[in-house]
Amino acid sequence: MLEITRRNFIKVTGGTTAAALAAPSMLRAMETDLGGRDYNPESYKERKAIPTNCHVCNIQDGAVAFVEDGRVVKLEGNPNHVSTRGRLCAKGNAGMWYSYDPDRILYPLKRVGKRGEGKWKRISWDEALNEVAGRIDDVLKNGDPNEIMLKYGRNRTGGVLSRFMNTLGSATVLNHTSVCESSKKVGMEPTWGPDIETPDFANTKYVLNFGSNILEAAYFHNPYSQRITEGRVDSNAKIVTFDVRLSNTAGFSDEWIPVFPGTDGAVALAIGHVILREDLQDSEFITDWTNVSLSELKEHYEQFTPQWAAELSGVPEETIERIAREFAHASPATTYTYRGPAKHLYGSYNEKACMMLSIMTGNVEKRGGYCLPRGMGYDQPQPEPPQPKKASILRDPPEFPLASHHVSHLVPFWIAEGRQKVSVYINYMDNPVYTNPGAEAVWGELFRNEELIPFRVVLTPFMGEEAQTADIILPDVPYLERWEPESMPNSLWPWVGLRQPVIAPMGEGKEHRVYLQELIHRLDPDGSRGMKKYWNFKSSEDYVRQQFENVPGLKEAGGLDWLKKEGVWPIYGKLNPATGKVSDKTGREIKAEYGLHKKELSRADMTGATVDEEGTIHKNGKAIGVQRNGRSYVGFPSGSRLINVRIDEWAEYGFNPMPTFKRIPWHENLKEDEMILTTYKYNVHVQSRTASVKWLAEIVHRNWAPINTETAKRIGVKTGDLIRVESPVGHLVTKAYVTEGQHPRVIGISTGCGHWGYGRLAQLKLKEKGGEFGAQEDSDLKNVWWDDKGVHPNAIIPAVADPIGGSAGWYDTVVKVTPAREGDRYGDVESSWDKHMEWYKKTMGFTYVGDQHRKMHPEMADWAGPDSVGPKKPSGH
Amino acid sequence: MSEELRLSARETRGKPGVRRYAMVIDLRRCIGCDACMVACKAEYDVPLGVFRTWVPYRVVGKYPTVKKQFLPRLCNHCDDPPCVRSCPVGATYKVEDGGFVLQDYDRCIGCKACMASCPYNARFMLPEHRTRSNITSVVDKCTFCHHRVVQGLVPACVQTCVGRARVFGDINDPSSEVSRLVARHATQVLRPEQGTKPQVFYIGADRNMTEYGRDVYDAREALDDERAVFNRNHTI
């Protein structure tokens, strides 16, 4: 048998290793580099490293792309990135497959035949742009600019899309936030300013996690997961997760506490009740930094007894009492939430109730506590087009005056009602046909209706469900081929980063900035319409260079040239191979700044300022800070510079301004055989864009519905059995996955699977030929062995909307689960526009002008009614 | 390990003058994100249907007291590897300095004796079709990222490990992190009774997990279904 001696080893590995072998003690565990370089395993040749910014999901990790013979073969985290620290999640590691998807669209397409029929013709860019420009021109000349609608999903263009729409003068710009986390944002913003928290997980002793699956998805999966493991192992933190299912996060936690969907807020209020009842709160913090007094707060919380919450949530009273004491005694401690509490009819109330726990225990802005997000900005190239003069009723619906992130998932119904004409629908990185409530039954219907939507242009490299109903497809490019500025508050250290093309755009693909410029230049060739002057940049690189020109510090370091080399700014220190943490020059871990609200105002700030009897510092008609114990602090970035436990604006519209909970009316008196349907994400998938990524699809390709063992017994099904899930708006047929890790009254059906578009792999149509739209086939797809693509739930989920925050009530659907009937086939999905329309009308009844509003708010009996408040100014978000 | 306790001439743990690379997997830090699985796929252009590293999990307990446990797996780079003993043509070999158990693709005749002898199911046959690499239809396995380690880099799975559950280094160096972790914590190896001297050490694994029957991977019915589909569709 061959024995490999040291001499053979050197021969095998080639000359480059000789130096390392000569000094064995130099090579040490974890003192070897944690990344930044990579080599080909067959030739041992070094791969070219180019820093960029990941964009498989929206966490925005710093990345390094390794390129071999012009092809991206490997992706790693950028070791210089303070949040990412060299690591990427499963999705980020697979990001090159967006570029190399064999079903990618590499040239412009025009539909032939009926809309949605799936027949396409390759056209030139010239033809495509002329047609789109012609349609836009027609509206600008003969209609209202607001008839040009743009809806985006994952918009990281750094302002390009707004620039485009502002140039056209249209305010009809819709995002996707209402299907994402908007009620979380709306629960937080009026309370303390920002729309998200940054818990200091690494240094905390106790985490109360309400409905966030942070170890698989959510903001900010990778950076936060790193810190949560540090908190748990290095800081001995306890993690308690409230969730309806045993996610990886719940399964990792010290305690998983199952909770009935939508009742997290009640549990949080009861925990608050115990803390205040037992006098465990931080009285000084409440007095100094909130807009209520301790006695007001105590009095208000008296109603939220553990017994009341236990009945609603199913969480035992003694558990609530115990967790309350543990949380209040742990120091520092933090809460964390994501979609669990927020994605309900009254999600904003739930979010508010949860964040109150960090506030009343004074854990805000403390090391190991619940911190404000730290952001860093970049500029827009000048000149900038002005905001459109006229608001869009689709973007700012009058029934939702507090929904500062819009209510985009109800837009199809509003278009159908004729609220606003849409002549041109521009679709950017947004697949509502798949991702929104109602799915094909709502958005598919809308998009196929040529009267309601006469012209649809989709900007995408993939034939997703939304692209299938396009009139023109412009082949946008995936993130590894784009220039974009980036910044995200995904750790306690602010940064700006650069997404730069690590390979040239493939085929005829172009990035947004380039073809939108060409469009504007077609609309205004000589500048006489006043549009061209906003689009005078030389190239994407030139545009992005201008965005980074005035970032303090970065400018001196070299601006864009620095970022092209390093990917991120600033570099806070070196990634320490012995700890995996970032160390400063002395070798110690870098320290975050805490207590942002206690930064003191300068003498210049105070010049001309007045202080009122509450201690609020006013200047030029604005609150600029708070005076406490003779010191002038900057306070919180809320209007009042305090934490608004009482949100007066909510009361104007008849909503309870204080922390409260509203039970979802149709969740009361559930019948024995009724359950709640919730959706969730798997660790390896984003919402809609990863089913065509082979390495991720190999790990998760089907989504059998988790169902509790006892429930399965009652229904009479076992794992793999066909089940029928019926909601008020339709039904689907999937398979059961029987598990102990599931609330007995909840069935889960994950998103991410069950595509009917998005290429052959997502649909498992691999017998069809690849490269239909110009891309190169991947012979590895011959090895695909699975034959189950899963079932998508959204068609049977009605479009509920939070009357405050506008969020979709994803987890509110009551369903009946039974064994499949005769004739039911796996993957059957049935639903209809009319049924969804009914539910839309029902949800509108909960808005402040609706007939259910007063009934839901008996405590607001003194409210003078909707006529007492004037129309609200459109928000700037 | 002292010189006297070394049973086989092949073993290099504790042998002076040579490195013996090892991995510690701290299950208290594993979040089951599967980043390691995908990083490994990219590093080697690993084809669909096979894995050099994988992360089985299981749900333990009875509702509502339930936990999820992950057990990242890879070749154990045994100090006394049975695959090396069983290979009839010397295609599988152990590198003395470092302890890597590697595969010589030019020598491999695809007889699968090594696959049969490995108690850890860590070896697999490469299919005919791959994206970029032209090494096909021979047996492959985890190399502990030999090509990266000799350049002073940690393996790809360690590099990307989000929870920093995977730690890699020279266990013959008492000051290395792996040595310190193994010295300070109770660790387990998989199937110690096989006498293979595995060099992947687990912190926080209980015997319920390391006795890794099929139930570790998924619910039994789901597993049976996937296995049947795999056998039906996966041809090598």
Residue A21: predicted pLDDT: 40
Q: Which long-range contacts (CB under 8 A, 24 or more apart) does A65-68 make?
A: A65/A96, A65/A480, A65/A502, A66/A38, A67/A502, A67/A503, A68/A40
Residues in B touching A719 (Cβ below 8 Å): 219-222
The CATH fold of domain A182-371 = Dimethylsulfoxide Reductase; domain 2 (3.40.228)
Residue B233: predicted pLDDT: 86
Q: What is the DSSP string of A492-522?
A: SS--EEEE--SSPPPTT---HHHHHHHHHHH
Could you tell me if B15 lies within 8 Å of chain A, comparing CB atoms? no
The residues that bridge with A721 in the sheet, in sequence order, are: none
Paired tokens of A527 = 């500048």
Helix (H) or strand (E) holding A817: strand A813-819
B182's torsion region: left (phi>0), alpha (psi -120 to 50) or beta?
A: alpha
Residue B216 pLDDT class (50, 70, 90 cuts)? low
Could you tell me if B94 lies within 8 Å of chain A, comparing CB atoms? yes
Q: With helix as H, strand as E and coil as C, how does A407-461 read?
A: CHHHHHHHHHCCCCCCCEEEEECCCHHHHCCCHHHHHHHHHHCCCCCCEEEEECC
Mean pLDDT of residues grouped by 10 in chain A (877 residues)? 38 38 39 89 96 97 98 98 98 98 98 95 98 98 98 97 98 97 96 97 98 95 98 97 98 97 98 98 98 98 98 98 98 97 98 98 98 96 97 97 97 98 98 98 98 98 98 98 98 98 98 98 98 97 97 95 98 93 93 97 96 95 95 96 97 98 96 96 95 97 97 97 98 97 98 97 95 96 96 98 97 98 98 98 98 98 92 53
Residue A11: predicted pLDDT: 39
Helix (H) or strand (E) holding A137: helix A125-142
Residue of B167, B219, B222 with shortest CB distance to A30: B167
Q: How many CB pairs under 8 A join A and B?
A: 280
A residues 183-222 near B, CB within 8 Å?
A: 215-216, 221-222
Question: B132–A252: do the CB atoms touch at under 8 Å?
Answer: no
- Per the CB < 8 A criterion, the answer to whether B79 and B10 are in contact is yes
CATH number of A669-839: 2.40.40.20
Could you tell me if A11 lies within 8 Å of chain B, comparing CB atoms? no
The CATH fold of domain B3-233 = Alpha-Beta Plaits (3.30.70)
The dihedral built from the CA positions of residue A353, A354, A356 and A357, taken in this order, carries a sign that is positive
- Per the CB < 8 A criterion, the answer to whether A324 and A275 are in contact is yes
Question: Burial letters for A524-561: b for 16+ Cβ neighbours within 10 Å, e otherwise?
Answer: beeeeeebbebbeeeebeebbbbbbeebeebeeeebbe
Alpha helix (H) ranges present in A794-856?
833-844, 853-856
Question: B129–A20: do the CB atoms touch at under 8 Å?
Answer: no
Question: B31–A744: do the CB atoms touch at under 8 Å?
Answer: no
pLDDT exceeds 60 at position B2: no
User: For A774, which DSSP code?
Assistant: B
Rounded distance, CA B204 to CA B30, Å?
10
Residue B200: predicted pLDDT: 98
Prediction ipTM score: 0.95
Residue A873: predicted pLDDT: 58
Domain A109-180+391-494+505-539 matching CATH 3.40.640.10: the answer reads no
Question: A215–B42: do the CB atoms touch at under 8 Å?
Answer: no
Name residues whose C-beta falls within 8 Å of residue A779's C-beta, 6 or more positions apart in sequence. B129, B130, B131
CB-based burial of residue A154 (10 Å sphere; 0-12 exposed, 13-18 middle, 19+ buried)? buried
Distance in angstroms between the alpha carbons of the first and the last residue of chain B: 42
Question: B38–A258: do the CB atoms touch at under 8 Å?
Answer: no
Could you tell me if B225 lies within 8 Å of chain A, comparing CB atoms? yes
Could you tell me if A148 lies within 8 Å of chain B, comparing CB atoms? no
Q: B57-62 and B65-70 as β-strands: parallel, antiparallel, unpaired?
A: antiparallel
Residues in B touching A99 (Cβ below 8 Å): none
Name residues whose C-beta falls within 8 Å of residue A313's C-beta, 6 or more positions apart in sequence. A259, A260, A263, A264, A266, A267
Radius of gyration of chain B (CA): 18
Helix (H) or strand (E) holding A619: strand A616-619
Interface residue of B48, B136, B143 to substitute, partner A, most A CBs within 10 Å: B48
Paired tokens of A299 = 């009095």
- Per the CB < 8 A criterion, the answer to whether A304 and A266 are in contact is yes
Paired tokens of A871 = 């129309």
- Domain map (residue ranges) of chain A: 1-26, 109-180+391-494+505-539, 182-371, 669-839
Paired tokens of A399 = 């029934």
Least confident of A701-710, B110-119, B204-213: B204-213
Which SS3 state, helix, strand or coil, does residue A665 take?
helix
B residues 145-184 near A, CB within 8 Å?
A: 145-154, 156, 158-165, 167-171, 173, 175-179
Q: A829-831 and B65-70 as β-strands: parallel, antiparallel, unpaired?
A: unpaired
Rounded distance, CA A877 to CA A127, Å?
35
Could you tell me if B218 lies within 8 Å of chain A, comparing CB atoms? no
Q: Do A182-371 and A669-839 share a fold?
A: no
Helix axes A512-523, A160-168, angle to 10 degrees: 10
Q: What is the DSSP string of B43-64?
A: HHTPPTT--SEE--EEEEEETT
A residues 26-45 near B, CB within 8 Å?
A: 27-35, 37-42, 44
Residues in B touching A75 (Cβ below 8 Å): 42
- Per the CB < 8 A criterion, the answer to whether A704 and A720 are in contact is yes
Residue B236: predicted pLDDT: 66
Question: A783–B127: do the CB atoms touch at under 8 Å?
Answer: yes
Question: A29–B135: do the CB atoms touch at under 8 Å?
Answer: no
Residues in B touching A696 (Cβ below 8 Å): 38
